[in-house]
Amino acid sequence: MTGSGMRSTRYRAAEHGGRVEHRIPVDDGVELWAEERGDRATTPLLLVMGANASGLTWPDALVDRLARQHRVVRYDHRDTGRSTRAFAARPYAVRDLATDAVRVLDALGIDRAHVVGMSMGGTLVQLLLLDAPDRLRSATVFCTSTLGTGLAGDSDLPDPAPELLAYWQTMGEERDVEAELAWRVEHWRLLNGDGVPFDPAEFRALEERVIAHSGTPRGPVAHALADRSGLDRGAELAAVRVPTLVVEAPEDPVDPPPHAAHLATAIGSARLATVPGMGHALPAAVVGPLTELIAGHTAAVDAGEDDAAR
């Protein structure tokens, strides 16, 4: 998964008020939308979002705070946001989305980056830790499970909440814009959990932005259908030496405790931290504490690498 053959890939870019947007080819007929903020002279940080979610799901407050110390890149996976809808014609595996992340780095000329993954994004970051560790300065993962457990496999760890599993059965149904917005807001309410207050208006505004960005109200479902083979690799994580932060979300209904602790134990280089009250969502109430954990982790790694280089 080195992607070395893609490093000279040409891509299109346009600047918008301090943000640079890109259209990056990652496969035949497949382009990904990406956006970067921050000083290009600072260390890069790649944000990897979860299944069926646009990169715009990363809160601007989080992106802007991290952009004060990093060149921050977020992007739309295949079949989300402004990226190519590819799955219907050319089905792919979840593991292929990890290769896409490397190709985003290749196209932007980034040799090594801090990488942050949420939910399925955390699964992809684990694959990067195993297959492309030379491309990572550090890793942060949260709201996710160890490779081979949770939604990525079978184990004795707890399953997602039954109410949420039942709700997912209606994913992808035909709905008008208002009904789709209502479905998505209720989905976020279920994901948020009860640890911090849930503001429906906050998440409605988020999904209105995502729909406008995507150009369609049709909810993506490709990642729920993608091949999950090749993910049962949890035992390999013990050899990881990339500095890794695992953030526990104690109210997460998808990957509830002790999923985070299990992952932190599985990864040879990991430390565990907690954002109190956090579920499987990024409301304003948790963005500040989560962002400071990420920023502190990456700053410590960068300081250590600077010291080692002297």
Quick check: is 119 catalytic? yes
Whether 72 and 66 have beta carbons less than 8 Å apart is answered as: yes
Indicate which residue of 252, 259, 269, 297 is catalytic.
252
Indicate which residue of 187, 262, 280, 297 is catalytic.
280
Whether 126 and 57 have beta carbons less than 8 Å apart is answered as: no
Whether 45 and 34 have beta carbons less than 8 Å apart is answered as: no
Quick check: is 4 catalytic? no
199 vs 206: CA distance, rounded Å: 11
Quick check: is 54 catalytic? no
Amino acid at residue number 292: E
Indicate which residue of 54, 70, 114, 119 is catalytic.
119
Q: What is the 3-state secondary structure (H, E, C) of the chain?
A: CCCHHHCCCCCEEEEECCEEEEEEEEECCEEEEEEEECCCCCCEEEEECCCCCCHHHCCHHHHHHHCCCCEEEEECCCCCCCCCCCCCCCCCEHHHHHHHHHHHHHHCCCCCEEEEEECHHHHHHHHHHHHCHHHEEEEEEECCCCCCCHHHCCCCCCCCCHHHHHHHCCCCCCCCHHHHHHHHHHHHHHHHCCCCCCCHHHHHHHHHHHHHHHCCCCCCCHHHHCECCCCCCHHHHHHCCCCEEEEECCCCCCCCCCHHHHHHHHCCCEEEEECCCCCCCCCHHHHHHHHHHHHHHHHHHHHHHHHHHC
Catalytic sites, residue numbers: 119, 252, 280
